[in-house]
Structure 1
């Protein structure tokens, strides 16, 4: 997960070294069983090895490295213990003396790691490994399955190896072939152009080749054509990955943009520049993908809304993590959850990972008492990943109580920048009001915006007090409710929502800035030396 991502050729070279070094057991973590077997067959041909596989559905079978299929299924023993015993017998055969042997176990983890699994399976596998090692046999047992769970007694005997997802170059070749195949059908209209292929390639990073093929096929059957609009089907395929994790939410914001953020001009300008780093031209120029941003400040002033708008403007999937989902009462589960979240995010990349109220899941050291150090280990895993990640996962973290965060997470190298969001000034309140009035289906010019700005600021609520963006949205909704109630009572002739509806509810609002004045003052003092203002002065 950390460091440079391995390519297929690098994986092949590493597995080749392990086979030549006669490592007795290698665990290959992957969902792409077919691609792994292709690599194993190629290596077996170079090393003049025989390959025997096992699965619960087929038992033991011989795999021909000249063919991508099974050529012999005569040893149909579905039981893993019997299969391992058969492999041990093969080590004593004349064939083993002439050629090397590769044993491939497909999805054996149910037999090995299930809570009620018979311990004989792990013991039998360990016996096979020890026999290969003690008798100096030219043989290796490959365990091919998703995940990396292994019985504790086998941990020191098995070498872990992750099979990489397709690289951008491999995906581009695959997309070219899919488009060429579709173009052969007179019934399917294929939009030609390198730009469309590049968009499909960029969107498909993180998917397996079969998932890419499924997404393209799904896009075609809808209208028998493939064009720019079908890129979203690739993102829908990524949504499946997120939903299966159970720890992340996939947020769709197709109709939003940076223009839907009221104010916060400096933050928006910063985001517009960072978007260029995700492009192919940006990578070719030498620009590294941005790590992320931490946005703190007054609650209700647009932090969460900005995360949604940024992902939509960048046309990237938005994954939301509620930090409360990470922690579990089971020993080791919390650490496994954070690793799983980061792995899913990297699989879906390029994407935006939204950590809402990050301080609740990664508190400073004083808040770790009583959790046996779990939160410290979760924090360590996250910080290491942020420091070393190479994938295009942009972390958008929001925090209301910045003082609860550990200082390690605030230093440079974790996030690219830290922004502070304050109460909206007059111009920002005008912009926010216009956006929400427009989203309510009304013309902002038909309402006295100057008066609304006045009603929502210090003139009504007191010095240094103004309504937050969330309070402005709620205020507009309250005015709409008043207008609708009047329409129900008086009929179609009743006047539409107007200034009186806003004035009616303005004086009954108790702003957050008044209730939490001391906290907001403390936030402002902290921001003076630690963060950039998200809004321009004035």
Structure 2
């Protein structure tokens, strides 16, 4: 008995619904890893329905009839199809389209490998002419084979069709499985000893993967042992998403944040919007949150802090990378948006959002349009956070009201915030600063904060790390002491001041550019920090850090 996979079974029913409506052409978008499962389920459905199922592949230009033999696919070559042995022009490789238009064979013909010629146009003249020939041949199939009991099923991982033919061919996309479908499938591949509670936990972890990937991940974990399955499958998923989608997937982490109290307060409000009580009042998360400000001020760190506050995973994507995909950019974005929609209850962080629009070309506008449409129509609990240095690079339609509901200005840290940031990084090396401790006098802090005026968080981190390295080198020679009896590392004010000399703050080095960013952010962004009310709020006048 063939085990039908839940997602493939649903897809088969949708295909057969269109087949019964006598559609001569159907386009199916299915990931490569699901191909065997899809073909098995489709072939079995055809057999049960008394319909012949054929398959043609570009790789060998042969026509096969698909059968099931002991739950495995069997391929029988159809001799009636006389392929062109010596192909003179590229169209000769697609002789199958002429054959299917006139043959007496009936049923479903799976055509694999045609989509590249049906997507957006190419500059190569030969490729363009071949694409036009294929399009014409498909139109003829639709005209000749209407109500003929013959359906050509175009199969591939990217069913992107040109606009002039897209209206003629219905498209079915194999979506990522739901958590319920995963839960139904997992008992087929898990040991009987796994409890229902464990199955549900594993299913929630697997959301965002196709069933074939889930099977690989689970079997890889089970090959070691049955312990910590959730942890092992989660690690497999994180690595898979990185390879397939070029994203970073982070679980909520515990991180300290220096300052930005107003923005953190807003994040805490978002958490309340995820509750059933808020939903009962039709309240929702913001459509998008935009963080703007100079580099190094903590925009990425703020997204991680939001993940911590909301308790939601974080998916990080470099928006500018989409431009490097060329004609595949829209397909890549479509798949990524489908992924975050399916995972749901996640933070989708678009890093360096402005860099994706630096070219101001048609691709940038199309990607922006896709994102805006998704932001407007989605129903999932996904919080979109985007960061930008140069807000003027963003298209106006992205920053108008109703797109990004909230825009925060992440500015240069004030004295009180720099004091907090210093203590966070000092505590990594010097235990005196841990758990609210301190080792400097207020006068010493005043001196340090004065010389680090206009330093951002990233630069403060560099200053502390360089000072720690300097103290380490002074404290130990090349011989390694006994690790069980190490003296504490104590960072001095002198070391920090010396380290500051080797850091040239960007806000001083590129003062005009940074001030321009800050001024533009002031016009559109809400403050992310309150007025500095710390004891260090007065006295930092020297903007050049001398």
TM-score (norm 1): 0.75
For structure 2, the residue ranges without an aligned partner over 5 or more in a row are 1-6, 84-92, 482-486, 533-546
Q: Where does residue 143 of structure 2 map in the other structure?
A: 133
Alignment of 1:282-301 (within 5 A): 291-301=287-297
8 Å contact kept, 1:319–1:345: no
> Is the counterpart of residue 534 in structure 1 residue 528 in structure 2?
yes
Post-superposition Cα deviations, 1:366-419, rounded to whole Å, max 9, x if no partner, equal x74xx5x44333433333333234456543311122233233212343334221
How far the C-alpha of 1:38 sits from its partner, in A, is 5.8
For structure 1, the residue ranges without an aligned partner over 5 or more in a row are 1-6, 185-189
Q: 1:358 aligns with which of 353, 359, 362?
A: 353
Q: Where does residue 270 of structure 1 map in the other structure?
A: 266
Q: Where does residue 248 of structure 2 map in the other structure?
A: 251
How far the C-alpha of 1:295 sits from its partner, in A, is 0.7
Q: 1:162 aligns with which of 144, 159, 173?
A: 173
CA–CA distance in structure 1, aligned partners of residues 13 and 377 of structure 2: 24
Match of 1:360, SS? helix
Evaluate the alpha carbon distance shift between residue 70 and residue 526 of structure 1 in structure 2; reply closer, same or farther with a 3 A threshold. Answer: closer
CA–CA distance in structure 2, aligned partners of residues 300 and 24 of structure 1: 57
Q: Where does residue 4 of structure 2 map in the other structure?
A: none
Post-superposition Cα deviations, 1:463-493, rounded to whole Å, max 9, x if no partner, equal xx44321221122123123313423579989
> Is the counterpart of residue 63 in structure 1 residue 66 in structure 2?
yes
How far the C-alpha of 1:425 sits from its partner, in A, is 3.3
Q: Where does residue 76 of structure 2 map in the other structure?
A: 73
Q: Which deviates further from its counterpart, 34-43 or 138-147?
A: 34-43
Q: 2:104 aligns with which of 64, 87, 92?
A: 92
Q: Where does residue 327 of structure 1 map in the other structure?
A: 323
Q: Where does residue 474 of structure 1 map in the other structure?
A: 462
Alignment of 1:106-145 (within 5 A): 106-109=112-115, 127=137, 130-131=140-141, 133-134=143-144, 136=146, 137-145=148-156
Q: Which deviates further from its counterpart, 433-442 or 42-51?
A: 42-51
Match of 2:177, SS? coil
TM-score (norm 2): 0.74
8 Å contact kept, 1:486–1:494: no
Q: Where does residue 400 of structure 2 map in the other structure?
A: 411
Q: Where does residue 486 of structure 1 map in the other structure?
A: 474
Alignment of 1:488-507 (within 5 A): 496-506=490-500
How far the C-alpha of 1:232 sits from its partner, in A, is 2.2
CA–CA distance in structure 1, aligned partners of residues 185 and 283 of structure 2: 26
8 Å contact kept, 1:262–1:431: yes
Evaluate the alpha carbon distance shift between residue 406 and residue 150 of structure 1 in structure 2; reply closer, same or farther with a 3 A threshold. Answer: closer
CA–CA distance in structure 2, aligned partners of residues 334 and 448 of structure 1: 54
Q: 1:447 aligns with which of 439, 452, 460?
A: 439
Post-superposition Cα deviations, 1:32-86, rounded to whole Å, max 9, x if no partner, equal 2245446645764786532222344794333358985445614377966565566
CA–CA distance in structure 2, aligned partners of residues 375 and 112 of structure 1: 22
How far the C-alpha of 1:217 sits from its partner, in A, is 1.8
Q: Where does residue 313 of structure 2 map in the other structure?
A: 316
Q: Where does residue 187 of structure 1 map in the other structure?
A: none
